[in-house]
Amino acid sequence: MKNKKIMLVLSILSISILAVGCSNAQNEATKKETKNNTNVEQPKEENNKENNDEKEVPNKKSTSAPKEEKKTESAVIYSFDVDKTDLIENKVDLEKIDENTLFAELQKLKVIPESAKLNSFTTKDIDGVKTGILDVNSDFTKSNLGSDAETFMLDSVARTYIKNMNVEQIKLTVDGANYESGHIVLEDGDYLK
């Protein structure tokens, strides 16, 4: 009889601890979701607080418009690791995928210098190959990279634009002239793939 009572008490304690643990895990998951996604409804406690605040001030009108859900598109931005001699795929969500957002993401990942500017991006059919012509300012070449790192940088830029802008190769120019740095010179027929 005594063993049954002990087992009953232990069972009740175990269930209580399990319920508290699950509740805490659910609360943590809700907090993380709320933190990561601004469109998630606030927990009920906060909603009740807001409703109580509105009741206290009878003439207060709700001025917050419903938040629009922003549509995003997934893009792949390439960066590199010189030590591992490899390109890295970075998946990002962008409101809009275009030449400017891709350029900005490459800058955020420190693939290209922050002072670099995108002059233009156009597409052109060259010898039956859809080619992206990427023109940048001279700050693009001022990254002070070694030859291997510069090669990875150019590959990262080219693959980012090829992957996201529906082109097969990239012609890189600096202020309208062929790309030229201390390590790499791209001639008229040279394309990045």
Domain that holds residue 30: 2-56
User: pTM of the full predicted structure?
Assistant: 0.63
Asked if residue 153 and residue 128 are part of one domain, the reply reads: yes
pLDDT tens digits, 26-49 = 555 444 444 444 444 444 444 444
Q: With contact defined as beta carbons under 8 Å apart, do 157 and 111 qualify?
A: yes
Q: Is residue 34 part of a domain?
A: yes
The list of the chain residues with pLDDT below 70 reads 1-11, 13-69
Q: How far is 9 from 158, CA to CA, in rounded Å? A: 67
Which residues neighbour 121 within 8 Å (Cβ) at sequence distance 6 or greater?
A: 99, 132, 133, 134, 135, 161, 165
What pLDDT is recorded for position 46? 45
What pLDDT is recorded for position 38? 42
- CATH number of residue 150's parent domain: 3.30.300.20
What pLDDT is recorded for position 160? 97
What pLDDT is recorded for position 182? 81
